[in-house]
Chains A and B, each alone.
Chain A
Amino acid sequence: MELKFSKRNQILIVRIQGEIDHHTCEHMRVAVEHNFEKIRGKHMIFEMSGVDFMDSSGIGAMIGRYKVAKCMGGKVVIANPNERVEQIFRMSAMDRIISCYPNLEQAIQHLEGGK
């Protein structure tokens, strides 16, 4: 798994490339929390166009990050998930707390608009 970080105001943008499973989730958790703290972030966006596999470990990891962002009064949103990733999110009812957007621009708009 490869992670690329960028920021926009208080939003940490994480571009994920590769596979999300139990093994890669630990690396993701540590790296995301380090960068979130560094930018004093409030929200997180996970851009998932480069994710070619995800199992339920990804759900657990996203819920974990949701709890961290919530402590800062922020949100976690997903941008550009493939059909299978979106299906796994829906199955776990995670879409009730973490919204999915078809692209990064809409995800940013959602967070900056404060909706």
Chain B
Amino acid sequence: MKYENECVTYFAAKSQNESLTRVLVTSFLATYDPTVSEITDVKTAVSEAVTNAIIHGYEGQDGMVELFCGYAEETIYIEVADKGKGIGDITRAMEPLYTSKPELERSGMGFTIMEAFMEGIMVVSTPNLGTRVSMYKKLSRE
């Protein structure tokens, strides 16, 4: 894929960085004249993926999370990757309301929200090696 613009950021898997990633993706997206609704969709999906990396990927341990933003042909591409414990059963993890951590007050709606707010999502995960969530959304250009 040849992107018109792209950026990769690495940040520590700490919860205080969740808001930072939303600011970053909003700034990247703002260049392309998105609607308010599109900005909210993308930053909510990013927030979900980053939270998953911190809570489920690294389970509170130290680690780095990669955030990729790309833009090509009126479409925003996002990737969030960690090198954490991975997901054993991706199909089950993506079921609405399924959570492996109910004791942490997780709702199990993260992937459902990513699917609802983005046009496409792909999850690749290998146990003990990590997870990469790739998403895209075409901008309406209204």
Which A positions have Cβ atoms within 8 angstroms of B? 19, 21-23, 25-26, 29, 53, 55-57, 59-61, 63-64, 84, 88, 91-93
Q: Are A23 and B18 in contact (CB under 8 A)?
A: yes
**17 CB < 8 A contacts A-B:** A19-B19, A22-B18, A23-B15, A53-B22, A55-B47, A55-B48, A55-B110, A56-B51, A56-B110, A57-B51, A59-B107, A64-B105, A88-B44, A91-B109, A91-B116, A92-B107, A92-B112
Q: Are A21 and B47 in contact (CB under 8 A)?
A: yes
Interface of B is mostly: helix
CB distance from A11 to the nearest CB of B (A): 22
Q: Which residues of B contact A55 (CB under 8 A)?
A: 44, 47-48, 51, 110, 113
Which B positions have Cβ atoms within 8 angstroms of A? 15-16, 18-19, 22, 40, 43-44, 47-48, 51, 54-55, 96-97, 104-110, 112-113, 116
